[in-house]
Amino acid sequence: MRKLLYLTFSMALIAALTTYAMWAADRPVGHYLSDLRINLAVDQGTPADRGNLLGIQPELFPTDYQSPERLRRKLGAYLQQAQEQGLLSEKTVVVLPEHVGTWLMISGEKDELYQAGTLKEAMNWLAASNPLQFARALLRAKGASRLDDAHLRMKAKSMAKDYQTLFGGLAKEFNVTLVAGTIVLPEPSVRDGELKIGHGALFNSTVVFGRDGLPIGQPQRQMHPIFADQDTLAANSEHTISVVDTPAGRLGVLIGSDSWYPDNYRKLDEQNVQLVAVPAFVVGHGAWDKPWRGYKGLSTPSSVSLKAGELSEGQAWHRLTLIAQPPSSQAIAGVSVFMRGQFWDKASAGQSFLSSNGQHAADGDQRGARLLNLWL
């Protein structure tokens, strides 16, 4: 009798594990109609032969990341519309928002993940659908939030490959220099023209792709992640800023809250930077109009007198972004680009803007995909 029970239990366990393995391996791709429209919200300056800065504020949702090809189709449609409006040339620098590459972590997943009601539920589906990858990532996880670390780390190798294929491919296809937003990866670096990952801490990083589709220089790692990310993301303790030469001029990138630090603009001036790109992200419905929460757990620069609650989030971004405000910044122009859309129960709220001549130009309508163009 005991042998019979053991045999029955073993067969049931094998059947359950087999069913689970088949379910986890199945990756159906459903049909999804995405809104490919984008409006030219701001077009500043006069066309000339010096080139232009073009910020693309996309409107993205989890289903846009169902495959890298689906995301490429949407971003490619935005660039195609920009091209049709005469906004692309070999001297164009295109800037995408923060974390546009991070969400590649959910590519190729099951329908249950995209249909989840909350981010937490979606991440549970991500782990359940990739049990071995998640287990390995959890063993290597670092920091106070090991689960969040594991979710971001578990598909890092494929994410890095998809990021370069997607954004490098777009840069080459449209013959532009592309600041490819950001992606969270463990110790990213460029070796022999390829974006590679390491085994250490996670960094929020960006890569600039040239017109040949290849990375220019090394990834720029964020120096000052906000407190909500500090349990998962490491800070670039070297506090170095990579500067690259583009057909439109020398370009520096400040990721998100890195653009709030006056000292960073001094470092860019020392490297004769002319253009500044700020990929950024603000989460929370209506957060752009709510009181600014200060440096969010980070050290406040001694030269900054602005205090939490004095201005709205949006007003603080405009105040703290010092591009083209002599003597704080000698750069001639810049663009701060935010993502729009909804990722489960997390809505984004930033409003992109251009910076030149000490002034900021923004679109009053915060909804939908937007192009912001600045002729140099």
Give the pair of three-digit tokens for residue 178: 């592309």
pLDDT the model gives residue 162 = 98
- As a residue count, the chain comes to 376
Of 295-299, 351-355, 357-361, the range with the lowest mean pLDDT is: 295-299
Q: Tell me what percent of the residues of the chain surpass a pLDDT of 70.
A: 89
pLDDT the model gives residue 32 = 58
Question: Does residue 278 carry a pLDDT above 50?
Answer: yes
Q: Tell me what percent of the residues of the chain surpass a pLDDT of 90.
A: 69
Over residues 309-336, the mean pLDDT reads 92
pLDDT the model gives residue 15 = 40
Over residues 5-21, the mean pLDDT reads 46
304 vs 275, more confident? 275
Strand spans (E) along the chain: 39-44, 52-57, 59-60, 92-95, 177-179, 183-186, 189-191, 194-196, 202-206, 208-209, 220-221, 243-246, 249-253, 275-280, 333-338, 340-343, 346-347, 353-356, 359-362, 370-375
Question: Does residue 197 carry a pLDDT above 70?
Answer: yes
Per-residue pLDDT tens over the stretch 245-257: 999 999 999 999 9
**Chain mean position to CA 351:** 15
Question: Does residue 11 carry a pLDDT above 50?
Answer: no
Per-residue pLDDT tens over the stretch 27-58: 455 555 578 889 999 999 999 899 999 999 99
264 vs 240, more confident? 264
174 vs 325, more confident? 174
Rounded CA-CA distance 336/376 in Å is: 16
pLDDT the model gives residue 270 = 95
Distances in whole angstroms, Cα of residue 233 to Cα of each of 107, 202, 214, 317: 21, 5, 26, 22
Give pTM, 2 decimals.
Answer: 0.90
Domain at 38-102+168-375, CATH homologous superfamily: Carbon-nitrogen hydrolase (3.60.110.10)
Rounded CA-CA distance 349/234 in Å is: 24
Question: Does residue 26 carry a pLDDT above 70?
Answer: no
83 vs 240, more confident? 83
**Which residue type does 130 have?**
N
pLDDT the model gives residue 109 = 94
Tell me the average pLDDT of the chain: 88
Highest mean pLDDT among 178-187, 284-293, 359-368: 178-187
The answer to whether the beta carbons of residues 278 and 338 sit under 8 Å apart is no
138: β partners: none
Distances in whole angstroms, Cα of residue 6 to Cα of each of 63, 83, 329: 44, 68, 74
Of 21-30, 194-203, 337-346, the range with the lowest mean pLDDT is: 21-30
Question: Does residue 74 carry a pLDDT above 50?
Answer: yes
233: β partners: 202
Give the pair of three-digit tokens for residue 217: 């220089």
Q: Could you tell me the residue ranges of all domains in the chain?
A: 38-102+168-375
Per-residue pLDDT tens over the stretch 77-121: 999 999 999 999 999 999 999 999 999 999 999 899 999 999 999
pLDDT the model gives residue 184 = 96
Q: Is the dihedral of CA 115, 120, 121, 122 positive or negative?
A: positive
Over residues 364-374, the mean pLDDT reads 85
